[in-house]
Amino acid sequence: MSAFITLALPLSDQECLLAALAELGFGANRVEVHDSPVHLTGYQGDQRVQRGHIVIRRQHVGEAANDIGFERSPTGFRAHVSDWDQAHGYGPEWIRRLQASYCKQDKLKQARLAREREDADVETRRAAAVQVRRQAEDQQRLVAAQRRAVYEKARKMGYRVQEERHQGDTLRLVLVKRSY
């Protein structure tokens, strides 16, 4: 069979990611948010090489745990979870729950902005319109970053890329490699 694989929606919106973490039990009082990334800390108080713009400190994660971090990148926030913590409740299943919650928060945010754009109050309408425009610009940057990332992976693996815009806004990249 030919594959049909849809990858998770990139965690690109900080507001939605924080709301998703809150839904999983990490509300504002248990999460640090930084403009510049900070190093994560290990269970012995050691500084780790991984960094995060959003950090859940180890005392909130569990006994003998390490910090969990989310580092902003052009293709969305990247989660840093230690091997130990992945084996103790923060593995792929936790990431799946986080992604599901993120999708829900994203839908709620879109619905809220749509309502606010119809609001009777002019200021509310204007603020919502500005946020929608900013989101659209962020999404364009995200698509461009995803495109660059695919090109980079394709180049490393020896594929040529043929690009075509399809079905409205969908971008199609065909990867081909002579194999025999």
Partner 1 sequence: MGLLNVAQMIPHSAVNGPGERFVLWVQGCSLHCPGCWNPATWSSRPNQMIAPLDLAEVIVSTPRIEGLTLTGGEPFEQAAELAPLAARVRGHGRSVMVFTGYELGELVTDAHQALMVSCDILVTGRYRRAERSLGLAWRGSANQRIHFLTDRYGPASMPATSECEVHIAADGRLTLTGFPPPALTENH
| Span near partner 1 by CB under 8 A; candidates 18-26, 48-56, 111-119, 163-171 | 163-171
Binding mask 12-51 for partner 1 (x = CB under 8 A): x---------------------------------------
Per CB under 8 A, does 168 bind partner 1? Answer: yes
User: CB of residue 14 vs partner 1: minimum separation in angstroms?
Assistant: 15
Question: In this structure, how many other beta carbons lie within 10 angstroms of the beta carbon of residue 21?
Answer: 22
Count the site residues for partner 1 by CB under 8 A.
42
Per CB under 8 A, does 114 bind partner 1? Answer: no
Per CB under 8 A, does 178 bind partner 1? Answer: yes
Tokens read off for 103: 């999708």
- Do 66 and 47 form a contact (C-beta atoms < 8 A)? no
User: CB of residue 102 vs partner 1: minimum separation in angstroms?
Assistant: 12
Per CB under 8 A, does 100 bind partner 1? Answer: no
What is the full DSSP assignment across 50-93? EEEEEEE-HHHH-TT---EEEE--TTS-EEE--HHHHTTT-SHH
CA distances from 50 to 62, 88, 119 (A): 19, 19, 43
Whole-angstrom distance, CA of residue 148 vs CA of residue 51: 23
Task: List residues near partner 1 by CB under 8 A.
Answer: 1-10, 12, 73, 75-76, 78, 139, 142-143, 145-147, 149-150, 153, 156-157, 162, 166-180
